[in-house]
Amino acid sequence: MQFSFRMPVAVQILLCIAKFDGVFKTTSTFLASSVNINPVIIRNTLGQLKAAGLVKVAAGVGGAKLTKEPKDITLKEVFQAVEEDEDLFHIQDNPNPQCPVGRNIHRLLGSRLSLVKEHMLSDFADITLAELLDDIEKSE
């Protein structure tokens, strides 16, 4: 199973906005060159980040800016801004009720998968953009 690419793309967008603020105009075209995907995907993601209050976007070639300091933006906020599904894992909607596994799979996995999501979001709440920017600086 593969998870959505929206969250990593959103994080990369936010890191570029923070890293290049005042150096380059962080337009969707500029951001797309870092992420190496279509600017339309960047614009859609920026729209989600804007709706979540994480960025402001100037129309035209004005570019995007963070609305908070990188130390105040967590991966949990980013995840919640761009991931649309309530559940990380989708259990098949119509398992076979004649099968003992099928008729019990929702009960067996539902609460456990919810707990995994809670732990992941808790971990994401402890990671900030500032930490990731520091890691970039150390790597360079």
Which CATH number is 6-139 given? 1.10.10.10
Q: Which residue has the tokens 């998870």?
A: 3
Amino acid at 10: A
pLDDT digits (tens, 9 = 90+) for 18-44: 999 989 999 999 999 999 999 999 999
How would you write 49-109 as a 3-class SS string? HHHCCCEEEECCCCEEEECCCHHHCEHHHHHHHHCCCCCCCCCCCCCCCCCCCCCCHHHHH
Q: Which amino acid is at 138?
A: K
Q: What is the pLDDT of residues 85-107, one digit of tens each?
A: 656 777 888 999 999 999 999 89
d(CA 101, CA 51): 41
This prediction's pTM: 0.86
pLDDT in tens, 107-125: 999 889 889 889 999 999 9
Domain spans of the chain, in order of start: 6-139
